[in-house]
Chains A and B, each alone.
Chain A
């Protein structure tokens, strides 16, 4: 261990200026994060942009090349290297390099972020989650850089190999996606399975090459491994025969129904959920349905894409009398496109048939039980929506940047949500409103935003309508007290009769899986949701 530490310190001494530069880069975003808000709240947005650019571009690039510097200090491909004829084992060198890379590129950023987290009252669980998120974002980059550096004796080769890898992966993905060998015939689960197989081959090969380079330095063997892996990946992507994804999927914990836009009814009598009054394109993706379940669309022109793609293309079908029976477990994608006069209301309904009357009864009368029941059966429904909506965002604000509680949906606008994350970064997400529910809503109708995922310690926000049966009132109320909407500039503030803007208020809800995490969000003063400029409604 002493000798590992000895090599570690030698590399630190060698790269001291690069390391210092890297630390400055890490600390810089923190400075923007702790600057006080200007009155109009602009700094928050600019800080977000600065942070994101620094984090994503500069820091990532510097991290990547720093790995090369660390490994390149004692290259593995050059027989004339100083360390090769010294009593330094490859394993010891590997340990020293990995230790330094981990300390510098993984631990150090965490240590820099830690004061920020603590300063904002994050608990251990949140710090753990944030750490995990940060590592998830950095480890792949660092891992790939380690392998490429281990194969490169010089910076030029490092850049070249990185370039080839950067082009090769998308090219490979495009090759697979282009489906030259009739990929249509396979199920979605098989696609998932093959994805995992490819991922496993990639990771194992990278690990093998890394160890081989450090322990034996037989670069020919490393290239052979890479070549075999490439062939295996191409072959697996096309011909891997054993599907195992559904097995693991069935065993996995059910995802809560973060967004569900199917109505629950019995028999073939479907009940319209809502009307659509503007051009609408909605894709439902319902996965993990047990075999006897039925999903029905009505009164829409739709495109149906089965998982195996046996049925594909546009159809204009009236499905009043029937539905699409799933012949196998898996997902069904229903893409409905409104045609005709968009001013006319269109009905979009999905119907779910429960396996027995008792379950159905519970589903209808006990939404909570319905949710639980479906979750227990590994339902994973989610909306993938892309809706040009005639909505807009304004508020009953009491001033710029102050807390408001509702927004009004107007034509031609969208809501943008910016959420402060655990890390001193921002996640900026443009959220198109959910078309199925985002017509000009009656006053009492509520629109919710469900947090369905966390990215890099932050929140990915998706929209969902009518969450009354899913989320408790208490949750909504608490959220209302915390959420902040603000126009970006004073000029974008609503003018005229404010009351006219507020006739159709919509409630916004944020929902997360873990209650503790949710509480923390509520207590986080940095959490903001920014509405885009409200516009005058068209007459």
Chain B
């Protein structure tokens, strides 16, 4: 079952189309990373999912409910932490927790205490006096203590120093072991997300580039190096699944987005008969960068 499903979700801001025809789903229990460069439409997508924005067209369901009808019953099961989200800064950490607690029937006092200790948050300090990292942790704590079925994190790492990032990610990882939940995390910081995500969706200029499990993605993408026998290769008419093909001397490199050892080798042999073919696994970051570069290259071609 999918905890989030979108169907042709589109949002325009006057002439700018922030999200275009977004169709993807997040399986229940997965940690989904929504990746994309700045301005890709990640935050807008999440805000659409959280009913903070109304779609121009298309629809989305969250926890089985139309996103535009999300109400208090659904938000009692959703935790949302966003970089720009306003917090009641006049409250102390303790007051924030005291204020939030009655709204959530599933609030776990023990978990609250444990997270408070783990995050090392000063209870009596006002939120406005907390550092950025501390503030994010306080927001995360107030969104975790009721064991939400869905945790949505929008750029949670931006502005955090590496140490705090580690703590933050550690907090999520540790808490994720506490129960059945789903996480959607948007970020352009792939290294951090890679430790968390088991499902990946990539957005670029408001369009979905891909959405699948991280395992499948990493199995599907390979950086292929073809060592030629000295002759020049013809890099035209390559398969569309080969991205960023380039030749450097006797070496041809490309990224195969539908890697299959036998099929890829066969395709290489047809084009480079005497060459040696080596395929390297790719990290999420490398896949992301590949897709981003390919997207830009495509855009340039379209513009031309």
Q: Chain A residues in contact with chain B, CB under 8 A?
A: 2-3, 6, 10, 13-14, 78-82, 84-89, 92, 218
**Nearest opposing residue in chain A for B76, CB measure:** A87
Given A78-B86, A89-B72, does the pair A84, B52 have CB atoms closer than 8 Å? yes
Quick check: B103 and A218 within 8 Å, CB to CB?
no
Report chain A residues within 8 Å CB of B54.
Answer: 218
List the B side residues contacting A80 at CB < 8 Å.
52, 82, 84-86
Interface residues of B (CB under 8 A from A): 47, 50, 52-54, 71-76, 78, 80, 82, 84-88, 90, 95, 99-100, 102-104
Q: Which residues of chain B come closer than 8 Å to A218, judged between CB atoms?
A: 54
Do A82 and B85 contact each other (CB < 8 Å), given the known contacts A14-B90, A87-B73? yes
Residues of B within 8 A of A88 (CB): 72, 75, 103
The verdict on A79 contacting B47 (CB below 8 Å), with A6-B99, A14-B90 known, is yes
| Contact between chains at A79 and B72 (CB < 8 Å) | no
List of A residues within 8 angstroms of B87 by Cβ:
82
A85 to B74, CA, bound (A): 10
Q: Which of A82, A84, A89, A92 contacts B88 (CB 8 A)?
A: A82
Q: Is the CB of B99 within 8 A of A85?
A: no
Counting residue pairs across A and B whose Cβ atoms lie within 8 Å, the total is 50
Q: Is the CB of B50 within 8 A of A85?
A: yes
**B contact residues around A2 at 8 Å (CB):** 102
Chain B residue nearest in CB terms to A7: B99
Interchain CB contact under 8 A, A86 and B84? no
Query: What chain A residues lie within 8 Å of B90 (beta carbons)?
Result: 14
Across the interface, do B47 and A86 meet the contact criterion of CB distance under 8 Å?
no
Partner of B80, one of A3, A85, A89: A85
Q: How many Å lie between the Cα of A92 and that of B75 in the bound state?
A: 14
A280 CA to B52 CA in the complex, in Å? 67
Give the distance in Å from the alpha carbon of A86 to the alpha carbon of B148 in the complex: 11
8 contacts between A and B (CB under 8 A): A2-B102, A6-B103, A80-B82, A80-B86, A85-B80, A86-B75, A86-B103, A87-B104
Q: Give chain B residues whose Cβ lies under 8 Å from the Cβ of A81.
A: 86
Report whether B75 and A87 are in contact in the complex, using a CB–CB cutoff of 8 Å: yes
User: B residues within 8 A CB of A85?
Assistant: 50, 52, 75, 78, 80, 85
| Extra 18 A-B pairs, beta carbons < 8 Å, given A6-B99, A80-B52, A80-B86 | A3-B102, A3-B103, A6-B103, A10-B99, A78-B86, A79-B47, A84-B52, A85-B78, A85-B80, A85-B85, A86-B75, A87-B72, A87-B76, A87-B103, A88-B75, A89-B71, A92-B72, A218-B54
Which residue of chain A has the shortest Cβ distance to B72 in the bound complex?
Answer: A87
Find the residue from B80, B95, B103 having the highest chain A CB count within 10 A: B103
Q: B14 to chain A: closest CB distance in Å?
A: 12
Residues in A with CB closer than 8 Å to B103 are 3, 6, 86-88
A81 to B89, CA, bound (A): 12
Residues in A with CB closer than 8 Å to B75 are 85-88
Measured CB to CB, the closest approach of chain A to B49, in angstroms, equals 11
Chain A's closest residue to B82 (CB) is A80
Taken together as a complex, chains A and B put the C-alpha atoms of A87 and B72 apart, in Å, by 4
Which partner residue on chain A sits nearest B95 by CB separation? A13
Q: Kindly provide the distance from the CB of B58 to the nearest chain A CB, expressed in whole angstroms.
A: 18
What separation, in Å, do the CA atoms of A448 and B240 have in the docked complex? 101
Which residue of chain A has the shortest Cβ distance to B79 in the bound complex? A85
Specify which of A2, A79, A87, A92 lies most central, judged by the most chain B CB atoms within 10 Å of its CB.
Answer: A87
A6 to B99, CA, bound (A): 8
Contact of B100 among A13, A14, A86, A89 (CB under 8 A): A86
A291 to chain B, nearest CB (A): 58
A79, B54: Cα distance in complex, Å: 11
Question: A residues within 8 A CB of B85?
Answer: 80, 82, 85
Give the residue name and chain of the A residue nearest to B103 (CB). A87
Residue of A whose beta carbon sits closest to that of B101: A6
Looking across the interface, which residue of chain A has its beta carbon closest to that of B99? A10
Q: What are the residues of chain A within 8 A of B53 when measuring CB–CB?
A: 79
Does the CB pair B52–A79 fall under 8 Å? yes
Q: Which residue of A lies closest to B102 (CB)?
A: A6
CA A3 – CA B76 in complex, angstroms?
Answer: 13
Q: How long is the Cα–Cα vector from A13 to B100 in the complex, in angstroms?
A: 15
How near does chain B come to A45, taking the closest CB pair, in angstroms?
44
**Residues of A with C-beta under 8 A to B78:** 85
Distance between Cα atoms of A86 and B101 in the complex (Å): 11
Output the least CB separation between B130 and chain A (Å): 15
A89 to chain B, nearest CB (A): 5
Cα(A6)–Cα(B95), bound, Å = 12
How many Å from the CB of B94 to the closest CB on chain A?
A: 13
**A6→B80 CA distance, assembly (Å):** 21
Cα separation A78 to B53 with both chains bound (whole Å): 10
Q: Which of A82, A85, A218 gathers most chain B CB within 10 Å?
A: A85
The 10 residue pairs across chains A and B that have the minimum distance between CB atoms: A87-B72, A85-B80, A87-B76, A79-B52, A87-B75, A89-B72, A87-B103, A80-B86, A80-B85, A6-B102
Q: What residues of B have a CB within 8 angstroms of the CB of A84 in the complex?
A: 50, 52
Which chain B residue has the least Cβ–Cβ distance from A2? B102
